[in-house]
Amino acid sequence: MRRKNMIKIIIGVAIGLYIAYFGFTDPTEVTKQVLDEVTQTQTIEAVGEQGATYKVLSVTDGDTFKVGINGVTESVRLLGINTPETEFSSRGAECFGEEASERAKALLQNTSVQLTSDDSQDVRDKFNRILAYATLPDGRDFGEVMIAEGYARELTFKGIPYKNQQLYKAAQKQAEENKVGLWEERVCNE
User: Residues with catalytic annotation?
Assistant: 77, 85, 129
Q: Give the SS3 label for residue 67.
A: strand
Amino acid identity of residue 21, one-letter, is: Y
Q: Give the SS3 label for residue 177.
A: helix
Alpha-carbon distance values, 4 to 7, 13, 42 (Å): 5, 14, 11
Q: Give the SS3 label for residue 80.
A: coil
Q: Give the SS3 label for residue 14.
A: helix
Residues 6+ apart with CB under 8 A from 15: 27, 30, 31, 34
- Which residue(s) pair with 66 in the sheet? 58, 75
CA–CA dist 44, 111 (Å, integer): 23
Of 155, 140, 183, the C-alpha closest to 82 is 155
